[in-house]
Amino acid sequence: MYAWRSLRLGRKSNPTQSLCWVVHRYYVKGKTASSSRWLERQHKDRYVRLASQDNYRSRSAYKLIQIEDKFCFLKKNSVIVDLGAAPGAWSQVVSERVNLDDAAESSRIIAVDVKDIKPIPGVTIVSNADVLQAETLTKTMAAMAPFVQADVILSDMAPSASGNHSFDHYRIMELARAALGISLSLLPSNAGVFLCKILEGREKKEFTAQLKRHFEVVREFRPPACRQNSSELYVIAWSRLKVSNTN
């Protein structure tokens, strides 16, 4: 406090003796330590290195590649909506797998996120779009035109981690339910695929039960590219049931 007051009053003080200085040093030191831990982890991570070699925008690309290699749900001539797409690695993978050059007329990839997404060849971008807002469905449908239904809805959405697992679980499940709502509006009956990231936790059981009420087949999968210390996993659901029992 003394330092601030001295500064405002134009007096000279020894900053190393002030509380402000100590707090400032502590904060900067803490930040530096966690940033360097993050940098060290990134450096050691083989998927980070692979992503930079393969020109993917993030290591997340390999999660989708591993899920797709197992379940094979990305086909040519498809309409695919990628929710929570920034920075864009999943959309890059999707555009490679549906081979847009060959099938541009009958395929469409729509990348949706609250954040900005830099252009990706063959991908229609809907940025500044929050899935918790109803208008995001309208914007997504406008981006799909002339198609009115989608074949695949992907959601890799996640809120920024707070460090509190229950809170993060609750928030990601809120996003997962919003993604499911969008899927039910866009996928046709007796068809369609919905892939969604969630975190382990108390709401998982109810969410998968909800998926089973709307889709014929529901599976869980944790691709090897998920970080070891993360409790994330993916649920994948096929073939939207014609008559939904409840919500």
Ligand X SMILES: C[S@@+](CC[C@H](N)C(=O)[O-])C[C@H]1O[C@@H](n2cnc3c(N)ncnc32)[C@H](O)[C@@H]1O
Residue nearest to ligand X (CB): 84
87 binds ligand X (CB under 6 A): yes
Q: Could you tell me the smallest distance in angstroms from the CB atom of residue 142 to ligand X?
A: 16
d(CA 162, CA 149): 35
Q: Is 126 in the site for ligand X (CB under 6 A)?
A: no
Among the options 75, 197, 205, 242, which is catalytic?
A: 197
Q: Which is nearer to ligand X, 18 or 108 (CB)?
A: 108
Which residues, including other chains, have CB under 8 Å from residue 125's CB and lie 6 or more apart?
85, 110, 111, 117, 119
Q: Which tokens hold the place of 222? A: 């944790």
- Residue 89 binds ligand X, judged by CB under 6 A: yes
226 is an interface residue for ligand X by CB under 6 A: no
The rounded distance, in Å, linking the Cα atoms of 156 and 117 is 14
The amino acid sitting at 149 is Q
Establish if 223 lies at the interface with ligand X (CB under 6 A).
no
Q: How big is the CA angle at 203 (ends 198 and 207), to the nearest 5 degrees?
A: 70
Among 123, 131, 141, 236, binds ligand X (CB under 6 A): 131
| Cβ atoms of 126 and 139 closer than 8 Å | yes
Binding mask of the shown chain, residues 166 to 205, with x at each position contacting ligand X by CB under 6 A: ---------x------------------------------
Asked whether position 115 contacts ligand X by CB under 6 A, the answer is yes
Q: Does 142 bind ligand X (CB under 6 A)?
A: no
Q: Could you give the CA distance from residue 112 to residue 110 in angstroms, rounded to a whole number?
A: 6
Regarding 113 and contact with ligand X (CB under 6 A), the answer is yes
Please tell me whether residue 120 binds ligand X under the rule CB under 6 A: no
Instruction: Verify binding: residue 66, ligand X, rule CB under 6 A.
Output: no
Residues in binding contact with ligand X, number by CB under 6 A: 22
Examine residue 165 and tell whether it contacts ligand X (CB under 6 A): no
SS3 call for 26 = helix
CB of 224 to ligand X, least distance (A): 16
Which CB atom, from 182 or from 218, has the smaller least distance to ligand X? 182
- 197 catalytic residue (yes or no): yes
Q: Per DSSP, what are the bridge partners of residue 122?
A: none
DSSP 59: T
Question: Residue 238: enclosing H or E segment and its boundaries?
Answer: strand 232-240
- Identity of the residue, 115 or 165, whose beta carbon is nearer to ligand X in the bound complex: 115
Q: How far apart are the first and last CA of the chain?
A: 56
Residue spans of beta strands (DSSP E) within 2-151:
79-83, 108-112, 123-126
Fill in the amino acid letter for 110. Answer: I
Binding residues for ligand X (CB under 6 A): 57-58, 60-61, 84-90, 113-115, 130-132, 156-159, 175
The residues annotated with a catalytic role in the active site are 197
